[in-house]
Every structure is written in C-alpha cells, then in structure tokens.
Structure 1
Amino acid sequence: MMHRQAVVFMGVVILSLSGLIHSFQPLFTLDGKSTTHRVITQMALLRKTAEVCRDIAATEGRDFSLTIDNSLTADKVQTACSSSDPSSAVLSTVRFQTSIAKVYFSNAKVDVIYALSEKYHFDDESFEAGRDLITSGVSAVKASVKLENFVAGRWTLGRVCHTLQDFYSHSSWVELGRTTPYSSLIRPDEPLQNLAGPTVPTCRSCKGGNCTDNLLPDLLQQGLITSGYFSIFSSSKPAGKCSHGGTFDRTSRRDPVGGINKDVVGSSHGFLHQKAADLAVNATVELLQDIRVAVGDKNFLQLMGLSQSSVLCFVIDTTGSMADDIAEAKRVSFDIIDRKRGTPQEPSAYILVPFNDPDFGPLLRTTDADVFKDNINRLSADGGGDIPELCLSGLQLALTAAPPSSEIFVFTDAPAKDAHLKSTITALIESTKSVVTFMLTDVLATRQRRKSLQGVSQRLLSESDAQLYRDLAQASGGQAIEVTKSDLSLATSIIQDTSAGAVVTVFQVVRNPGSPAEFTFPVDSSLRNMTAYITGTSSLKFTLTSSSGVSQSSSQSSGPLASVTRAGNLLRLGLNTENQTGSWRISVDSDNPYSVKVTGQSSVNFIFNLVEAHEGVHGDFDLKEGRALSGGNASLLVSVTGSDTVKVTEVTLFDSSRSTEVNGSLQSLGSGNFLVTFREVPAGDFVVRMRGEDSSSGSRSPNSFQRQAATQLKTSSISVTVQANTTNTEPGSTIIIPFTVAATTNGVVNDSATGTFTVRANNDRSYTSTSPSTVTVAEGGGGKANGTVTLTVPEDAATGTDVTLTIEAENAAATDVNYAVIRLSVAAKVTDVTRPVCQVVMILDTCPSSSSLCASSQWTFIANLTDGINGTGIDSITIRLGNGTLNTTTATGAGGENITVASYSAPCCSPNVELTVVDKVGNVGTCAGQVRALTTAVPAVTPAAVNTTSSRGHTLSTSHCLLILISAVVFLLWR
C-alpha cells in the first residue's frame, strides 16, 4: 500500500492520467488506498522467498523466526535468510531488490506494450488465450532458469504475473465468492470449467452509477466465470455481456452499461478491490511455488537474486604476452575461493570470458568453484597475430551474463580491435549498472611476444587506446588501473576488496583535465572497512584529514589515518575510521587527470531506476529505456536498502567534471521508496547521490550519510523507442523489431527537426541480424524516423537461451548517442503439457504401535512414475517431505512408456512422504504417502507385474508379489 502523500506526486501530470486505468495500477497508486501490480508482485516474491528460506533452515536444523505475511520487506527477508549472525554480518539487499524491481517493471511494461490486447488482461472472456500466455510463459521461465539465464527469467516472470493478477480484477471470480486462487490458470492439462458461453448473458445495467449488483443472478447461482469487454475505439460487444468499465471503455456505455473491474477502489466493483488484490497475491505465490519446485530451491533463490555475496567475474586476454596476468588472475581468484568457500561471503557465481583475436569466449558461468578453478587453470597465453584483441566482445558477453550491479574485471595489455563496440558496451553498462575495472599492464611499454610465435612483434597500448578503457571504466564507476606486470599483484587487492560483499560507494569524482581540489565525504556509523582509491600520475600528491582534524600526507605510507599502497597509477588507502564519524576531507594536488573513489561496507545503500510518465489506456509510470532527454524532466524510482531508521533528505544528480549538482523533488511512496523528479536536467554525465540521516547508532544526533551510485546517468537529445510486441522467440524464427529515432529539444520531440542518424544494432549471441546503417528524419516527418531490426535465431538455439539486443542511434556529428536494450528469450513451443503420473505400487510397514519405539523401525513406499508415451521424460525426483532415503530404477511399461520406480524408506518416526516429479519441460507432479501404525495386520497392496532395471542394469522382478503390511493409509496428491 502507498501512503496518502503519494497522491500529490507529479501534480497535474498524474491527475491527467487518472481516468485511463484499465488494470491494477502498474507502479504507483493515485488514491493512496489501492494496491498496485508493483506491490502485489513484491509481496508475493518476498513471501515465497521467505518460505523457501524457512524450509531450507528447517532442513539444516536452523531457527527461522520471521513471520511470513504481506508486511515483509526485502531487508527482513534477506536478514532472516542469512546463515550468518545478523549482528555481525554486513548484508546488502541491493541485488535482491534489483531483481524484484526487474520483475515488477516487466509486469508494468505489459500495460504499455500490450495495452489493447485482451488476452494479456483476461478481457473479453479470453480465458483460454490468457491461460496459454501464463503457462507458456512459465515454461519459458523454467527453461531460462535451467540455463541460469536469470535476468531473462525475471523479465518473462513479470509479464506472466501481470496477466495472472489481472484475472482477479477483471473476472467474476471474486464476485462468485471464491477465496482461493483459480489453480487451473497455471495448469495447462486441466480444463477451464464453468466459463460463461459466448451467448450467455452475464450483466445487467448499473443503476445510477451503482454497479454493486450488475452481475446477473443466474450467473452467480451457476458459478459461471465471465470478464468484462473493453474497447477504446468501439462500443460493440456481444449482447448481454459485461463491460470492463471506466472512462475510456466505450463498451460500458452500451447496454448493459457499467462495468465489473476491481482495478482500484474507485472502479465499478472497487468495493471488492482489496479481495481481488489479496487473491492476486496468493495466486502469484502459487505460481512461484510451481516454478520453485520445477527448478529447485537453489536456482529459485538465484532467480530472486537473493545472495549475500557478489559474483566473481573475469574477462581475460589470452594472447602470448599475458602469461603473467593469467597467473595473477588465477592466484587472486583461487585465494578468494579458498578463503571464502563454505562461508556466507563465498561468491554466488563465477563467470569467465577469455578473448584474443580472432576469438572470444566461450563464456563460462557456474556456481561451482571447482569448475571455475578448472577452467581458469586451463587458460594459457599463446597465439594472437596482430596486436589488437577482441576485448569489448568478451566484455559484452560478461555484461549480459552477469547479474545487474556486478563487479567485472578485465585483464589485458592490448588495444581493443573492436573499439566500434564502445557505445554498445556503454549502453550495457548503463542498463545493467555493473562496474567494470580494467587491469592494464605495461601501458606505453614495448614488449615482445614469445619467439615461438610469429617472430618478434611489439605490443603497444597507446595513450588513445588506454583512454578507451578509461572512458568505459568511468562510465561504470570502475577504474582503469595501469600497472607493470611485476606490480600487478599489488593492484589486484581491489578484487579482494570488492569481493567482501555489501560494498557501497560513498564518494567518487573524476577530474579530466586535472586541477588541485579538496573534496569532502561523510563517514557514518554503519560503514566498515573503508578504502579510498586514487588514480593519477606518479607526481600526484594528496592530504587526508579526518573529522577530528588529524591529517596524513601522501608522503606517509603508514600514518594515523590510512595505510597506503602504490601500484602503477593506483594509490590504495586503507582508512582507519574507527570512532571517527563525521566529515572527512581529501585534498588532491595534480594538474593531470585523476580520480578519487571512497568505498566501505554497509547495509545502507540504494538502487534507482529511470522512469517516465506515459499516457494511454494504462496511464502511470514505466521503466524508461535508454538515457534521459537533455533539457527535459527526469524521474527516478529510488529504493533505500538496509535500514528502517534512515531519513532521506535529498537525492541529486552530480556532474563531477563541472561540479554541477541538480536537486530532485522527493515524494515518499512508503517502505523506503521515493519518486524523485528533476526539472530541466541539463546535458551532461551525472551520477545519482543520496544524502540523509541515520539514527541507528543510538547517539543523540543522527549520523549524516551519503551514498553515490557508481554508474553514470547520461543525457541525450536523441530519443530511441522500440515497439517490440514480444520478448519471446522460437528457435529457427526471425523476429522483426520496429524502432523510432527522433531529435528532441528540452525533453520533447522537435517535430520540425531534420537530419540523418547512424544506426547500430548488436546482439551478444552473434545471431544474424539486419538493420539500416542510417535513418533520416525528413522535412515534414514530425521529427521522427522509423526503422526495423530483423534478428534470426538459429535452429539449434537451446530453449532458455537469452539474447540481448542493443539498438543505438548517433547524430551526424558523432557527439550524441542514445539507445534501447531489449532482452529476448528463446523458447520452443511446448507440446508436453501433461504432468508426470504416479501409481502407488505398495507400502511395506513394520512400524510399532508405540511412538517411543518408532526410531528402530522402517517403512517403505514404492511408486511407479511416468511421463507417458508422448511425454518429454522425467527429469528429476526429489523429496519434498520426509527425511528418508530415495532410490530409483527404470523400467518399460506395457505401452512402451518409460517408468521410473521410486523406492522410499524412512524411520517410522517420519510417517509422511511427498515426492516431487518434474519432467524435462518443467511440468510438476506430486506423489504422497502416509503410514499409520496400528496393532492389527491387514493384507497389503498386490502390485501388477512390473520389470524394473536398476542404474547398474540388473533386472528385478516384482511379479505377483504379495506382502502383509501393518494397516496403512495411502493417498495421492496431484496438484
């Protein structure tokens, strides 16, 4: 729920949108009372994540005291899910909250891309088509997760959730008195029952605007499901049918007039809004449970982005002169792995991308440290004819494979042969908000390749070559560290620093050209292990001053405030800030370009996303792709992490190159969320800064704190919009993506503008694509030009593969560029929609009647499991309930179908079992059994003849087997 003050945000703009509602509001509420898709989705994700953590804790014998309800926050769930002591650990919820945001932004996007498609909103009684969208989408999510393409899985999940949630607002389900979700919507093998036929009247006209009883009594008595018809163009609808309702629904003006939607409190059936919202939450939880069971708990938590640690991501040049660099990358990664293995700080995933020329990749992404070790151990430095290497192509793979907000380290000593990808890399950096640090060895030095290669050739990384890497590092908030190969081990300490987890940026500035300056930054009580990094020439000098007035100069390698290490152009200052909260200063004396970055560990941080108001049927806000428009207004959705005691006082856009700071107007949306509006943002490269006060320290006066986003937020006078009507594509298919390029002035399209723009379209899979090299805005064209990108997916592309497509437009002077980034999921059409089938063969029970003796006896449950003759086959069988042992063997049924024989044995103290059976496309079946000890023996089940083959190939016969069992209760649960 949003607080009432949210009603006033954006003033006239929002008021102009209030009549355009056609679903639960996507992101923000207008009335302060209604529940949005964003809140519904967030509640469900938090609840299901907490349930998974609770079950894992129970399995591991740990306490889990969190109450699971709709009041959960990301901070509470992250803390409860942590296996470390909350009082001593520094936890960050940035990745968790970023992942949740991606899901609800994708959810909201449905109201922009598919605004008038009835099946995406269950309008016009389109129940079968709506159900197909849900079930095919869920299959795509499972396939993406199976390949560990979690970002693509989140985008698909959000879209699926929107359609599912709209069912409860747009249909008569709530009016029929139903209090549980309609489970058949997520089960393609179940028929949709009690649907009102196409000729069945469903509504009567509302009386004087009162629609509380406009559903026909016969419909309610028969329990028939209907939904409202909707159109902004025509009043036509089938005779006697209900309308959606609302100002823009023209069908609601035709008899029967009125509507039945429950989108907001003020809707036609708004008196049932909260019941619909609650059911939408529960239905989303049910859908998430289906995904969880299919993919497993570990993968589900990764889909949610729940992790206490970051990924370890290396992009490594493997040409002949890189032997020392590869050896150092091995050393530092092995050290991190060995020290952190088995701890909460163990990297959540490992990513490795080698590159040289003419090759780059393949990308390795794994959660197994030993697999990563093995792959990096097998890297060798050889080959490479000409000097430039495909560095940016390798980095592109890493940026699209790593989770958002990752730290990526690039090792190279050569120029980039693919420098034309610079704007694409910049777009991906801005889109993912990942930080890229370059380890550049022997800049401006001459080296020889091994003579065993192509004779002797020089490798020279010139100043301009290095500047490309510096620019990309600056855009991401990373650094370009230039060091000799012999000193590289001193520089890689920065990798150790960032792997600590919960690292926040307190202050960062780049001065190019350089000039002497003094900078201040606050140290708050939540910060630990603070480090300052200064890059610049060897002649650079600095003075560090604490809040108590103590100073230390650059001539002191070890002083009262910091221990200083120099490696190439990098100065690393390990700060001693204990008991010294308050304002610190650092003075830099240099006329050459330099950078200053101050970091620390803290749970207090923030995430931000650029959003824009949009009109239309679903008026609200939406995630803005690409850059903010120069001279126009900009809006950010900012979410604070890690503290309930933080008071945000300001959010600004800071341009360090010009010392420009633009203040934003804050509107609290509750639960640490803020809509921040900036008026007339000038052209420039900005970073987002958040300042405020934190009273968690217990001192009389609250601590001042500051956090700074790493990634730059750039502005542009070019608008690039994409009209992609799908984000899924099949293997072997060609998808056409229309786009529009426009010139803008003061944030709006300049309809009298003309000109030619260079167009670049790149995808990270190197799939075949075509696009125009330029588009021209002609006179009288309204300031816009259109084009299309075609992308062909290979026949052999695996289901679950994701493709990131970047479309860029650059002005004729090559001084301005903007972009759109589109994520596509490859998903083959699923023909197997039937869940695996279970048949209980027997229960063997020797349990005593006394519970005090149950530990000494065992019971056995045997069942035949099959996916049928036309199914894709059983992929996994897991124990969802019970602490026994499961063994499986294979067999062939009478009809030729594959059968898996599951034999479960457990102590009699554990009298229940529930097995989850998943086929290869993610259909989930559940088989359960229960034993009850009595004193009277009864005949057992006599199984049919089944020949089974164990994994070792031995044939076992259970034909005509008769067992005498203690009385047993057996039941099957197929959900």
Structure 2
Amino acid sequence: MTECALLETAADYLKEIYNIITIHSSINIQYGTCRAKDIFDKIKIELDKLKIDNKRLSRAIDTVAQENTNRDLFEMFEEATHFDNEKFDDGALLISQRLDAALTSMMMKDYEKARESFGALLHTIQDFYSHSNWIEIGHRVPNKGIGKYEILGRYASKEMRTCIDCVGDACRTNIVSDIITENILTSGYFGLRVFGELFDENTKPIGKCSHGGVTDYTVETDARGGGINKDTSRSDHGHLHTLAASVAYNATKQILSEFWTMIGNEPFGHFLGLATSLQNFSSNSLVIVMDDTGSMASYIEMAKQIAIGIVDIHKNLDYPPINYILSPFNDPTWGPLTISKAPEAFVLEISKLNAHDGGDGPELYYHGIVDALKACEIGSALYAFTDAPAKDAYLKSQAVQLAKEKRVIITLFYANPRAQQLQKQSGRALMNTTDVIEYLDIIDGTDLPSVTGGVMMGINDQALNATSEYIIQNLEADKMATVIFAKGLNMNIKFHVDLSIKSLKIEITSSNFLSPSNFRLIKPSGVAIMPSPTSQTSYILLYTIPVGTAESGEWTLISSMHVDHTIQVNAISQTICSSAIQKEIIDSSSNVSFTPLINQPIKEETDLFILTICENLPSELKTGYVNLIDANNGSKILQTLTPIQISSTGFLSRLTVPDVNFRLSTVVQLQDGTTVQRGKKEIISPTSISLSIDDQPYFVLLNNTLLMNYTLYNHGQTPLTITLRVIDTMGLLSTDGFVKAYSLAAKSNVSDTIAMGAINIPDMNSNSTVITNPVVFSIAALDYKYDQNAPVYIKRDDVHLTNQTDYQKPTVTPSPLDNFAMSVGPLMIHFILYMLTFFVMLH
C-alpha cells in the first residue's frame, strides 16, 4: 500500500513538475495494491530521460515503507500506534507530532529522517481504517482531521458497550447498532497470548470490542467471540477488508498530497528523490577517509594519488557524486571534514594533506569514519587509507550502525600492515582504561569492510592502474550479479553459471601478497584453465573470463593461496535472486507475516526464516536452496536450507542461526532445467546478546528530562561482562555519551533506565515544533557486538487536540446485507516487503 501510494505520488510529481503524462495509464490501484514493478519500470524510463538517478526514488520508497513495517516490530504493544483500545486522541496526536517531526527534518534538509518519521505515521493512519469502526459506520472517505491536531470524531465513552457476544459469521455484525447509527467511534482491545503466555497485561473493559484473532485473549471476555479488525479477508470483519484498504490507500495519498503542499515542490522533490536540482547527479557521496599521522609519511603521497584517481573516476561518471567528503584523522585530533560540490576543489584539499603528529602507533580511525558516515548520503562509497590499528574501537558499533543505515560500502586500503610490531589477539579489540585497540588488518568477518560488503587490500607503488580498474568494475556493481563472494585460505568452491552470463569478472584482493599461479578454474567440461590477470598488483588480481554458449553449468574455482584473501565472482545479468533473513511478526491483529530482520540474529535462534525472491527468470522456479557459507572459509557450507513454501518466483526456508559469521548463497532450479546461483556480499554476524528499548516511541518536552527504559539480554550459556554505550546527536547526553558496564549471568537479563535532559537543543529554533533524531545504543564485549537505535521526538510545546468544526457524516448507510455483498478476495493492509510482496500465512 505504501509503495503503491508513493509510486502514484511520484507519477503525480513528474506530471506536475516535468509535464510527463505517460505513467498514469499504467497505474491500476485495486484496494491499495498495484503492480509496483511495472509502474517503477515506467518511471525509470522517464527518469533516464531526465538524467535523474532512479536509485533515489527506490531508496526513498524503501525507507518510508520499512519504517511503516517497523512499527509492528518496535511498537507492537503501543496502543496509540495502532489505534487499539480506543486510543483515538493518542493516535491522532502521534500522527500530528510525527508529521511535525517530518516537516522539521525537511526544513533542516535531513530528508532521510523526514522519510523515517513519515513512514512511521503512515502505519498509524492505515491502522485507523482497519482497527476502528470507521468503515462499519458507513464512511468511505478518509477522516479529514488526521494529521491536523484535531479530535477525530465522537468517541465511545469508557462505560459505553460497543460490542456484543457473537459466534461465527454473526461476529460480522457484533458492533452495537447504536454505535453505528449514531456515528460513534470505537476500536478493538487487544492482548497477545502466545503458547499460553500473556504478553500484554491490559484488560478489556466489559462490553468493549476485541481486536480479534487467534492470539487475542480479549475475545474470551465480554463481549466474547470475535474482533472487529479488517487487516485481512480472514478477520472476523474481513468482509470489509477491501473497503478498509481502499480508504486507507486514499488516506495515504491524501497525507502525501498535504505534505507536498506544506513543504513545496522542490523540497518534496528531495523527499522523493526527484527534485530538479538532483538532475545529472548520483544519489550518493564519494567519501575519502585519510590517515595523516606521521607514520604515514612514506605512504601518504601514494595514498593521495590513489584517492585523487578515485575522484577522477567518479567525476566522469554519467551520474557523478552529489558531493565529495574528505575526513582526515590523526592522534589525538581528527577532522575537520571537507564537503565539496566541486571535484577540482576537493582534489586540492586532498593534495594539501601531509603526514604529521601521532606517535604511539594506534590512531583515531573510527573518529574519521563516523564523522564521514554522519555527513554522507545514502548508498555512498567510502574509501579509507591507514597503516595503523585503531585506538577508538569503542566507536565501532556506531560506525557499523551508521554504515548499515546508510548502506555504505567501505573499502580499506591498508599500507604496509605493521602486524609484526604489535601483539594480536585473534582480531579481538583490546581494552584498557582509555583506549579500545583493534588491528584493522585482521579480516575476521567483524571488520568494517566485511560487515558492509566491502574489502580490505594492501597498496604499493604499482597499485594505481589495478586499483583504478578495480574501482571502475565495482562502480558497475548495480549492473552486476554477484555469483560468489568468499574469503579464506586454499579455497575450493563449486558454482553454477547460467545461460544469461556471457563473461565472469573475478576480483581477488588481500592485504597479503597474492600469486596468480595459485589460481585456476575448471569448466563444466572438465577442462582446467589458469587464466592470466587482466590487471594486477601484489594485492589485487583482476580477471575477465569469457563464457561460451556451451559452458553453462557447474564450474569449480580453486585458489591454493596460503594467505587470507577475498574472491568475488561477478557477472552482467538481468536474472536476480536475493535471499534475506526475515523476522516473523505476530502483529496486533494476530496475523502472521514477515519483515526483514534489521538487527543481528541470536545464535541458535530457531524462529527466523530466509526469504528468497527472484526477478527476470527465464522460466518458473521449480525448487532451490540457500547455503550458509562460513564467512572466514568460503569452501565451508555450514547449513543447506530447503524450502518450506515455494512460489513461481521465490521460496521460504526456516533458519537455525549458526554460532559463526556467515554469508548467504542462493541456488534456484528452474522448470526448464536451468540452475541459477547468486551470492550476498554482506556478512551476517550472530550474537549472544541483544537489547530491547522499551516503550517506543519516546516524546519529551523541551527543557524536560526523558527517561528511556531498556533491557539487556544474555542468550548464551556463559556469563558475560558487557559495556553499553549510548550516544545521541542532539546534545541530550554529554559529548562522550553514556557508558555503563553490566555483568550478566548465562540466560539472564537486566533492565535499566537512562535519563536525558532535553535542554538547549541546538536545532530547536523558533520554527521547530517537533524534532527527531535517534539515540544509538551499542553493546561491546570480546566476542559480541550489538547495536540498535531508537527515535526520540522533542516537542517545543505540549500541543493539544482541537475539535473539528463538524464531524464527518457517513457516506453510506451500511447494513449486514451490504457487508456480505462487499466481500472481495484476500488482501493485507500491511506493507511487508519492498518492491516484491510475498505474504505467507502460517496455519
């Protein structure tokens, strides 16, 4: 629903601003759903003509839709978020406040934060039509007071009976007739029960409606029997589902249109990624993070040459970067950032760098990384240069969180690793009273490049040409399909090449010396070849391998190099298959659905799934499997997951989380006999610790104190001592944030509270009503890392709701017969996955 509304609004914007009238004819909205890929493909054609990078719109939709879905993850039991338990004023206020936060973020040109706030408020708007009796009353248009700090109608009093006992189909008309005829709003009460355990202690007053569903225990109390939600066609009021979905869709379009009017054409264009000022620019930044301490003296000129070469490559692209960011770091200082629109001026700033200061070996690497990540655009490329360990690895979790949030791929050039001069401890961070030291040349799967899908490589005087070719190849990543991404020593890997692949692009990188004589391929015919690199240095080997028409099938890659190295096998192909970990959600309607997991999975967790979705297959999918590949040994398959449900374009598998870092490799077999293999670059890092930030969302008045409650969990079998760091960007905490150590016994948890004062917020100017920014919680232990953030909304004033001048009258007069006649096929109101909807109902 959210995706379709944003695509239709994008078409409206292109028509209004660019006079493009060819898209609307392909838009057919039915009950809040559409053929999203067809619409997006039409829009992409027009964006190519306008020289607007279509990834901007794609990422904007992704953010808004994901934040909508996340409300069921992080605010499942918040009544106002879902308009449950007759919390109409609280829900109306929440929508208006989040809209104000989005407006303030737009004013501050923080478009991503605006999208996050807007996506969150859409969830609540859409739930209003599914969870309340607005549709049963006879309304067929959106509530005009939503988003305007207005009371939404006449509400049932706490003493008023709203539902009666019912059984079976009689539950379709279980709302008291006077409630409907007198245009009185009510919503269902909800309490989740799973496996006999109550997760919500709220009780339903006598005579109130239940939300409904097999896990809603309130259906057992007066009024008994059924609920009134319309989330799916299988709900007790599911005969009204398509009506609720249609009105919710119109309400989504309406609030988007109102937001557009509020902020104006150009800002709304930035919100969608379609503004005229974005023409001819890519959606990302080019980021250089450079160590300029004294130890870099013999390398800094070489590093500067490589960095300038990277700039030269990017500035000549069809879509050059929107800006260029230079983040130098030293010890004990770092910065300042240079942010430039002009590549020539940026190159001049790089040229000015010189090696100076430092002295104790480890440097403030993560300070340089974090500052750059805060400033860059989504989807940016970050290249870092250093020759020393980091002494500030206490910022690593924040760097990982920022990189994941902004989808930044990090490439680290490590000059002359000095590992022999320093004692290593299996890649773990060493902790003392002031520093947390990490040896960056240990690539163990928890390193920043690996976590983000990047690589680390050495550099030398011969690196310029091969490095340039490597970067050029990776700039084509959006046109490439990854077949293999593996790391290790002495690897022997079998992989499938399908008919869509005409050549293989192979990249081998390392911080150690590589030998091309130790690499060979075996074709499906059994013929072994030892290819010659098209370009190489001591640390990079690049190959282009033609694939003949008769050479599809199973290949073997053999790398007998006795040093840690990374191998990427890529190919130009329109056939896409991607797998991702999914979290099962039992939402406030007792529906079972899935959404992407956004945090690290818990070791040995058994209630997660892998969702595989394919596009542009030459024939329908027959079956498939997902291999979990050891992140540090590309030859080792940890598990093979087979489907529990299959469709023509994808399948679902159940996951038991291993206790080591891993990557996903997907293999699908098609009806025509073709086998397609695709791999993921990103490393998945299971953990034994987790954190829940309770009572989200958080609102606090300016000059008041905010109390944030959280719970730390140790899921492992051994005791742990962990350090929690809490950092914010609004000055609620001190510059260094909040740090506290906890000792947790095996299989235990501890709850705590942190107090933050909302005083003298720098961005809270006279035009701000509500501002928002996340507070980042990071956990660190020797083998365990975890990070999560929670949005905090700061209000200038405690604004109250006002009455509407007159409450809306129902559009139609409903009757039970009308309700039966309006039943249309199954549909879900919640948007679950971006671009390809794949709903799976478990029975």
Specify the code of the residue in structure 2 equivalent to 1:385: D
The residue aligned with 2:484 is 507
1:223 to 1:84, Cα distance in 2 relative to 1, 3 A: closer
Contact 2:289 2:369 in 1 (8 A): no
**Of the candidates 641, 655, 659, which is equivalent to residue 683 of structure 1?**
659
Q: Which has the higher strand share?
A: 1
Contact 2:286 2:321 in 1 (8 A): no
Question: Relative contact order (C-alpha < 8 Å, sep 6+): which is higher?
Answer: 2
- Does residue 382 in structure 1 map to residue 354 in structure 2? yes
- Does residue 141 in structure 1 map to residue 102 in structure 2? yes
Distance across 2 between alignment mates of 1:689 and 1:64:
38
- Does residue 635 in structure 1 map to residue 608 in structure 2? yes
- Give the superposition deviation at 1:174: 0.8
RMSD, aligned CA: 4.4
Contact 2:366 2:390 in 1 (8 A): yes
1:730 to 1:97, Cα distance in 2 relative to 1, 3 A: farther
- Residue by residue, what CA displacement relative to the aligned partner does 1:479-513 show, whole Å, maximum 9, x if unpaired? 212112563353133222222351432201111xx
- Give the superposition deviation at 1:314: 1.5
- Residue by residue, what CA displacement relative to the aligned partner does 1:931-974 show, whole Å, maximum 9, x if unpaired? xxxxxxxxxxxxxxxxxxxxxxxxxxxxxxxxxxxxxxxxxxxx
- Residue by residue, what CA displacement relative to the aligned partner does 1:425-448 show, whole Å, maximum 9, x if unpaired? 4565566664321123344599xx
**Of the candidates 365, 370, 373, which is equivalent to residue 341 of structure 2?**
370
Distance across 2 between alignment mates of 1:124 and 1:711:
41
**Of the candidates 412, 431, 443, which is equivalent to residue 438 of structure 1?**
412
The residue aligned with 1:195 is 154
Distance across 2 between alignment mates of 1:577 and 1:823:
49
- Equivalences for residues 740-819 of structure 1 within 5 A: 740-744=711-715, 755-763=719-727, 765=729, 767-768=733-734, 771=738, 773-777=740-744, 783-790=748-755, 795-798=760-763, 802-803=773-774, 805-810=776-781, 814=782, 816-819=783-786
- Equivalences for residues 410-429 of structure 1 within 5 A: 410-422=384-396, 424-426=398-400
1:152 to 1:549, Cα distance in 2 relative to 1, 3 A: farther
- Residue by residue, what CA displacement relative to the aligned partner does 1:890-927 show, whole Å, maximum 9, x if unpaired? xxxxxxxxxxxxxxxxxxxxxxxxxxxxxxxxxxxxxx
Specify the code of the residue in structure 2 equivalent to 1:649: G
Q: Which runs of 5+ in 1 are unaligned?
A: 1-39, 447-461, 558-563, 696-700, 746-752, 835-975
The residue aligned with 1:5 is none
3-state SS of the aligned residue for 2:725? Answer: strand
Distance across 2 between alignment mates of 1:432 and 1:690:
25
- Does residue 80 in structure 1 map to residue 42 in structure 2? yes
- Equivalences for residues 643-658 of structure 1 within 5 A: 643=616, 645=618, 647=621, 649-655=624-630, 657=633
Specify the code of the residue in structure 2 equivalent to 1:763: I
3-state SS of the aligned residue for 1:120? Answer: helix
- Residue by residue, what CA displacement relative to the aligned partner does 1:389-443 show, whole Å, maximum 9, x if unpaired? 3222222344455566654321334442323444554565566664321123344
The residue aligned with 1:525 is 500
The residue aligned with 1:391 is 365
Contact 2:75 2:695 in 1 (8 A): no
- Does residue 315 in structure 1 map to residue 315 in structure 2? no
- Residue by residue, what CA displacement relative to the aligned partner does 1:277-313 show, whole Å, maximum 9, x if unpaired? 2222221222233334426343122399999966243
Distance across 1 between alignment mates of 2:705 and 2:343:
35
Distance across 1 between alignment mates of 2:684 and 2:58:
20
Contact 1:539 1:590 in 2 (8 A): yes
Distance across 2 between alignment mates of 1:609 and 1:77:
24
The residue aligned with 1:883 is none
Contact 2:7 2:40 in 1 (8 A): no
Distance across 1 between alignment mates of 2:323 and 2:39:
21
1:288 to 1:690, Cα distance in 2 relative to 1, 3 A: farther
- Equivalences for residues 806-885 of structure 1 within 5 A: 806-810=777-781, 814=782, 816-824=783-791, 827-829=794-796
1:260 to 1:719, Cα distance in 2 relative to 1, 3 A: closer
Q: Identity percentage over the alignment?
A: 22
Contact 2:665 2:678 in 1 (8 A): yes
The residue aligned with 2:675 is 704
3-state SS of the aligned residue for 1:138? Answer: helix
1:221 to 1:790, Cα distance in 2 relative to 1, 3 A: closer
1:115 to 1:306, Cα distance in 2 relative to 1, 3 A: farther
3-state SS of the aligned residue for 2:303? Answer: helix
Contact 2:164 2:176 in 1 (8 A): no
- Residue by residue, what CA displacement relative to the aligned partner does 1:542-600 show, whole Å, maximum 9, x if unpaired? 2245556676535x35xxxxxx2112311122343475544444332322222211123
Distance across 1 between alignment mates of 2:108 and 2:344:
20
Specify the code of the residue in structure 1 equivalent to 2:37: D
3-state SS of the aligned residue for 1:82? Answer: helix
1:582 to 1:385, Cα distance in 2 relative to 1, 3 A: same
Distance across 1 between alignment mates of 2:596 and 2:158:
40
The residue aligned with 1:567 is 537
3-state SS of the aligned residue for 2:256? Answer: helix
Report the TM-score, using the length of structure 1 for normalisation: 0.66
1:372 to 1:301, Cα distance in 2 relative to 1, 3 A: farther
Distance across 1 between alignment mates of 2:559 and 2:59:
35
Contact 1:96 1:306 in 2 (8 A): no
- Does residue 332 in structure 1 map to residue 304 in structure 2? no
Distance across 1 between alignment mates of 2:226 and 2:772:
45
The residue aligned with 1:907 is none
Contact 2:86 2:189 in 1 (8 A): yes
Distance across 1 between alignment mates of 2:163 and 2:513:
80
Specify the code of the residue in structure 2 equivalent to 1:282: N
Distance across 2 between alignment mates of 1:742 and 1:199:
38
Distance across 2 between alignment mates of 1:235 and 1:806:
32
- Give the superposition deviation at 1:167: 0.8
Specify the code of the residue in structure 1 equivalent to 2:608: S
- Does residue 612 in structure 1 map to residue 588 in structure 2? no
Q: Which runs of 5+ in 2 are unaligned?
A: 192-199, 421-436, 765-770, 802-843
- Equivalences for residues 18-417 of structure 1 within 5 A: 40-53=1-14, 55=16, 58-59=19-20, 66-70=26-30, 71-83=33-45, 100=61, 102-188=63-149, 191-192=150-151, 194-196=153-155, 198=157, 201=160, 203=162, 205-208=164-167, 210-230=170-190, 233=201, 237=205, 242-245=209-212, 248=216, 250=218, 253-254=221-222, 259-293=227-261, 294=263, 296-302=267-273, 311-317=284-290, 319=292, 321=297, 322-337=300-315, 339-340=316-317, 343=318, 345-347=319-321, 351-361=325-335, 370-371=341-342, 374-375=345-346, 377-379=348-350, 380-382=352-354, 384-387=356-359, 388-399=362-373, 406-417=380-391
Contact 1:430 1:713 in 2 (8 A): no
Contact 2:390 2:438 in 1 (8 A): no
- Residue by residue, what CA displacement relative to the aligned partner does 1:115-145 show, whole Å, maximum 9, x if unpaired? 4433222234432321111111122223334
- Give the superposition deviation at 1:163: 1.2
3-state SS of the aligned residue for 1:132? Answer: helix
Distance across 2 between alignment mates of 1:289 and 1:673:
35
1:411 to 1:731, Cα distance in 2 relative to 1, 3 A: farther
Distance across 2 between alignment mates of 1:491 and 1:737:
47
Distance across 2 between alignment mates of 1:142 and 1:527:
49
Report the TM-score, using the length of structure 2 for normalisation: 0.75
3-state SS of the aligned residue for 2:442? Answer: helix
The residue aligned with 2:441 is 466
- Give the superposition deviation at 1:273: 1.8
Distance across 2 between alignment mates of 1:806 and 1:463:
20
Specify the code of the residue in structure 2 equivalent to 1:143: T
Distance across 2 between alignment mates of 1:486 and 1:725:
53
